[in-house]
């Protein structure tokens, strides 16, 4: 493995610290958005504004070729004291995903305008809920390249995220005497769950990678009755591989529980696998190596705004950002300054090489 180059600048990066200091759980992002717009203006962005969905948007350059760097500015709830401890910054969102977003902001400011190119940095709202910010920008831009901000370590690039679909399966039965021995709605619901699980286990049997499997979860179960009817509801979630669309899953689920009520819940998203042989990926490999790293690829079992924008934009895309994703949503969330600085330099080199190679 290549020796890592020394980082001599360990000072607290102002963009990262300032952004993490703005507590912004989903639905309460406005203060952080306003702060980030002001920060991008102070860094010399050609334009910075709040769009119709409430996202923070910064623009550098006026060219016809476009790179969108899309991070999310919201976090899960749970405020953590923002403080520097040794070489790390603690605070909600320091990893997921203000660290990646701040690195985008600083890197684009450092690269500056490039002839023929335009860089657009977006701090999207509502990613931790229904991705309202990403759903809006998916209709507003048609970039040549897209970089999505999520924590995957500074020397790794993610090339895929699983999809997801949620459903409620409700089993209803007529009211019967407890001494009748007839199957209750709750018992029937359990049988339905076991049938669903058997199908998933069979589907996964020959799959080697978790990324290629169906990941099934029973999120909850409830039951009740009235004078004439009893019912039981299964709350089911599934993480989907690329080969199974949400529609495919819903149809299979309805087939398995034939005759029972299936309610589709929330916004299903399809899995997405990025093209590995692209100039964007090659530029990232060079960027990581420029900082002494040995590039690695990863495929994630969760979902991200990649799942929303990539199908709409149909351009080369990757997911990148500093931070340890094992710290996502935890009370111990923190990011190392060294990792942050390296990520900024990786992005600078990547954007330099990308714009030269793609001219």
Q: How far apart are CA 242 and CA 29, in angstroms?
A: 32
Report the Cα–Cα distance between both ends of the chain, in Å, rounded: 32
Catalytic residue among 29, 74, 155, 305: 74
Instruction: Give the pair of three-digit tokens for residue 150.
Output: 């999520």
Q: How far, in Å, CA of 189 to CA of 229, rounded? A: 15
Catalytic-residue membership of 74: yes
Q: Which of 198, 199, 189 has the alpha carbon at shortest distance from 221?
A: 189
Q: What angle, 0 to 180 degrees and rounded to 10, lies between the N-to-C axes of helices 98-111 and 30-42? A: 20
Contacts of 198 (CB under 8 A, 6+ apart): none
Residue written as tokens 């989907």? 240
CA distances from 280 to 35, 117, 145, 255 (A): 30, 15, 7, 41
Residue 69's nearest CA partner among 47, 101, 45, 46 is 101
Inter-residue contact 158 to 150 (CB < 8 Å):
yes
Catalytic residue among 29, 106, 126, 127: 127
Among 354, 289, 294, 288, residue whose Cα is nearest residue 321: 288
Which are the catalytic amino acids?
74, 127
């Amino acid at each position: 493995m290549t020796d890592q180059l020394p980082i001599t600048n360990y000072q607290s990066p102002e963009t990262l610290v300032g952004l993490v200091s703005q507590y912004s759980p989903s639905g309460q992002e406005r203060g952080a958005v306003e702060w980030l717009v002001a920060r991008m203006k102070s860094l010399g962005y050609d334009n910075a504004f709040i769009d119709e969905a409430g996202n923070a948007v910064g623009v550098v350059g006026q060219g016809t070729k476009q790179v969108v760097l899309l991070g999310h500015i919201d976090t899960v709830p749970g405020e953590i004291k923002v403080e520097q401890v040794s070489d790390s910054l603690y605070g909600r969102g320091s990893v997921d995903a203000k660290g990646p977003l701040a690195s985008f902001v600083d890197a684009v400011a450092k690269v500056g305008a490039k002839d023929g190119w335009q860089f657009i940095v977006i701090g999207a709202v509502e990613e931790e809920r229904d991705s309202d910010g990403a759903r809006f920008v998916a209709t507003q831009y048609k970039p040549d390249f897209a970089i999505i901000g999520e924590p995957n370590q500074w020397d790794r690039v993610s090339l895929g995220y699983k999809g997801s679909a949620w459903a409620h399966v409700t089993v209803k039965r007529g009211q019967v005497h407890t001494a009748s021995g007839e199957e209750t709605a709750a018992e029937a619901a359990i049988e339905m769950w076991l049938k669903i699980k058997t199908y998933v286990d069979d589907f996964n049997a020959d799959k080697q990678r978790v990324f290629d499997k169906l990941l099934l979860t029973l999120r909850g179960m409830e039951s009740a009755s009235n004078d004439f009817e009893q019912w039981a509801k299964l709350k089911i979630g599934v993480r989907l591989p690329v080969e199974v669309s949400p529609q495919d899953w819903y149809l299979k689920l309805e087939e398995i529980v034939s005759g029972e009520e299936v309610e589709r819940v929330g916004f299903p998203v399809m899995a997405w696998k990025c093209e590995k042989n692209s100039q964007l990926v090659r530029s990232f490999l060079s960027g990581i190596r420029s900082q002494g790293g040995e590039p690695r690829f990863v495929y994630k079992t969760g979902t991200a705004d990649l799942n929303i924008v990539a199908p709409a934009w149909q351009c080369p895309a990757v997911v990148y950002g500093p931070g340890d994703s094992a710290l996502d949503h935890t009370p111990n969330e923190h990011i190392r300054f060294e990792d942050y600085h390296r990520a900024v330099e990786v992005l600078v080199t990547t954007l330099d090489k990308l714009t030269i190679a793609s001219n």
